[in-house]
Each structure stands twice: as C-alpha cells, then as structure tokens.
Chains A and B, each alone.
Chain A
Amino acid sequence: MKDKPWYPVLYMFIVTAAFSSVVIGVGAVTHDRVLANERLAFEKSVVYALALAPGRRLGNSEIHEMFARRVKEPTNATAGAYYIEEGGQIAAYAIPIEGRGFWDQIKGVVGVGADMRTVTGIYFYQQHETPGLGAEITRHEFRDQFTGLRLSTIGKAVNIRRPGTTLGPGEVHAVTGATQTSTRLELLMNEDLEDWQQRMGVRGGEQ
C-alpha cells in the first residue's frame, strides 16, 4: 500500500488531522484561562499603577477583587482613563499607554493623582524588549523613579535621560544599555499622556 501514489497524500492528511485536533482541543481547554490571564495582567497594572496597596505583593484573586471593587470604567469625562473615587470625588486616574517599543508593542498603565499631574505609579503588562536590557523597564528600580514625579504640561510630559545625568523636574534615568527602548518608551508615553492632558484640558497650564 505504501508505494501507491495516493498513500503519501492520505497519510499526510490523517497525521495532520490527528495532531491538529489535539492542538485545537488543548487550545479550547486553555482558552478561558489565557483570556483570564491577559485580563488579570491588565488589572494588576492598574492596581499597581494606582498604588492601591503600597508596599504589598498581592495574590491574583486579591488583585481581581480590588480592581472590581475600587476601579471604575473609563468615561468621556476621564478621557479614556480608568479612575478611583474617594468620598464622591475622583482620587486618581489610570491612563493606559501603548505604542511600539524596540522589538514589539509595549503596553502599560500610568497612574496619576487627582491633580492630573503627580504620578502615583507606572506598570507594564506587555513588552518584548531584550531580556536583561530593555525588559528592565518592568523592574521596580526603573518604575519607582516615576512615583511622585510631576508631569509637565508644557513640552514633553516626561523626560527619560541618559543614566548618570543630573535630573530636573519631570525627568527620570533610562535603563543602562537600553537606549532604543528608552527612546521609544519616552515617545509612546508622551504621545498618550499629552493627548490625555489635552483632552482633560490641563495641557499648557501653569508649570
């Protein structure tokens, strides 16, 4: 049978069908879990960017519960930013940012206080930068620099400067050896933050 001309075609068809069905089956079984993981990664970014539990590492269910309880969906009035309320007043905004990094999309969340100027935190939930270099933007050593930073409303909202330079207001140090990632990150952050400031009507205000 093996030397019949149709045998390789039939064989290939059967083998492909068999292996593909297993892959499709596993895909279907894990589908919900994968979606939940993606959703959770975003919720985690918002919770950490807003510093809802400062200094604590949260479990997955805690994060999800905290997000569901405290964080409100974006409205027109917040120009696409998620927000939290305290005593009926908006206490902080979580602004989703995204854009091209050095290798691939970088997605994250920037938290700012009620004054729309003071950063409460920053967190990334998707990036494929070089491990050990650009990917260091996800480490707290880099991200902590943003906490308490005042966004500028004139010119660049944030400035990522070369390591070792003296910093002025609204400036942080880049990751050593990751010039490309830092340049792109500054660009994508400013694009989204400045756009948000514009829509919230705080762009070009007093420094």
Chain B
Amino acid sequence: MSPRTKQNRSMKLIQDGLWRNNPIFVQVLGICSTLAVTNLVLNTVVMCVALVWTVAMSSLTVSLLRNYTPRNVRMMVETLIIAFYVILVDQGLKAYWPEMSENLGAYVGLIITNCIVMGRTEAYGMNNPPAGAFIDGAFNALGYSFVLLIIAIVREALGMGTLLGYQLPFFSSQYWDKWIIMVMPPGAFFMLAMVTWMFKSMQIRLGSQGVKK
C-alpha cells in the first residue's frame, strides 16, 4: 500500500468515527453512559478520557492477537481485554485520584459493558491491522466524547448554573431559575434527542453525509 492510500484510509477512519458513522448519533451506541454521566462536565471529561483509552487500546490489542485468536472464543478474549484496560483505569483512579473514583462510582467499571468498545473491537479490531484499529478506536471514542461534552455543558449550565463547578454569569444569578430536571435523568433524554436531531439534520442537509467520500 502506498503512503498516499494509507493516509487516505486513516483520514477516512477519522471522519467515520467523528462524523459519518458517529457512535452516538449514527450508530446510537453507548447511550447508557451518555445518560448517566453527563450532568457534570468534569465527570464527563474523565469518563471520556477513560473511554478513549479503553477503546483505542482494546482495539489495538485485539488486532495484535487477531491471527492467534480462535473464532469461537473471540468474544471472550475481547471482553477479557476490555475488562483488563478498564480495571487498570479503575485502579489508577482509586490510587491517584480517589475523589474522582468516588464521583464516578460504578460508571468506570461499566465501561466494560459499553457497546462502543465491544462494537469497535468486533467490527474493526478483529479483522484489521493494529495501527488502523487504534485510530478507529480512538476516533470513535472521540466522536462519542464530543457529543457527550455538548450534552454535559448544556445540562450543567441549565441545571446547576455552573461550568466545571465554576459559577456562570447569567445562569447562576437570580434571573435564572435552575432547571433541576436537566441534571436528573430525564434531562439527558431531552438533550440526547435534540443533539441527535440536530446532527442528523446537518448530515442530511450537507448531502453525501457531510464529508467527501
């Protein structure tokens, strides 16, 4: 493969993960954690970093082992590898950032069951070379992250009047009656639906799904 086509292929993986085949608004995967952790921006950021690490590294590892892994036990191996990386994150947080570990509680462990991780290792990592698998994993997770951050910023601002815990000028003043429902689970459903609607409409309007093939 020439360097040119290699570059094109990476570019395509990046565009797919971030936009054309975005895990949240196109594949509609990983919705459970989208709903659970997006009411405070800081929690969302840590969750996203943990997810980027897990998806990228799991895909890479699954891809490295793909020629040795028997087909009939591949799902077990994938789950094992995913759990491995998630437990490392969990142990790291417990040891070096206990407050955040307390905040995220069970959600870190639940990355193991996040459909995006299993989805990417199974759909891409299992059948493709390591470098591509890593890029595919990382950019799918980043595609997930930027949607989550948009949701989290709106939820925290409207519901708590803050951003990353700092008071926002208008939203924390007496003129803004905090929308408590935004930091409760229903708020996540409203935001997710609106963000999906917005991005899908943009994709349709931009034609050819937004990016040149």
Contacts and interface: CB of A to CB of B under 8 A. Distances in A.
Interface of A: 2, 7-8, 11-12, 15-16, 19, 22-23, 26-27, 30, 33-34, 37-38, 41, 103-104, 126-128, 130-133, 135, 176-177
A155 to B, nearest CB: 30
Contacts, number: 77
B168 interface: no
Contact of A177 (B73, B80, B156, B184): B184
A117 B60 CA distance: 60
B88 interface: yes
18 contacts: A8-B72, A11-B68, A11-B69, A11-B77, A19-B84, A22-B84, A22-B88, A23-B84, A23-B88, A26-B88, A30-B95, A34-B94, A37-B95, A103-B105, A128-B105, A131-B43, A131-B183, A176-B178
Nearest to B97: A37
A177 B39 contact: no
A2 B69 CA distance: 8
- Of all A-B residue pairs in the complex, the 7 with the closest CB atoms, nearest first, are A30-B95, A132-B183, A177-B180, A37-B98, A132-B39, A128-B105, A8-B70
B177 to A, nearest CB: 11
A126 B70 CA distance: 44
Contacts of B72: 8
B43 A11 contact: no
A128 B76 contact: no
A126 B98 CA distance: 11
A153 to B, nearest CB: 33
B91 A30 contact: yes
A23 B87 contact: yes
B73 A8 contact: yes
B102 A126 contact: yes
B181 to A, nearest CB: 8
B154 interface: no
B159 interface: yes
Contacts of A104: 105
B1 interface: no
A30 B96 CA distance: 9
A15 B43 contact: no
B88 A2 contact: no
Interface string B52-92: 00000000000001001110110011001100100110011
Contacts of B80: 15-16, 19
A128 B73 CA distance: 36
B40 interface: yes
A132 B160 contact: yes
Contact of A15 (B65, B92, B96, B106): B65
Given A12-B77, A132-B159, A30 B94 contact: yes
B77 A15 contact: yes
A13 to B, nearest CB: 11
Contacts of A103: 105
B134 to A, nearest CB: 18
B98 A12 contact: no
A122 to B, nearest CB: 17
Nearest to B42: A131
B201 interface: no
Contact of B95 (A12, A23, A34, A41): A34
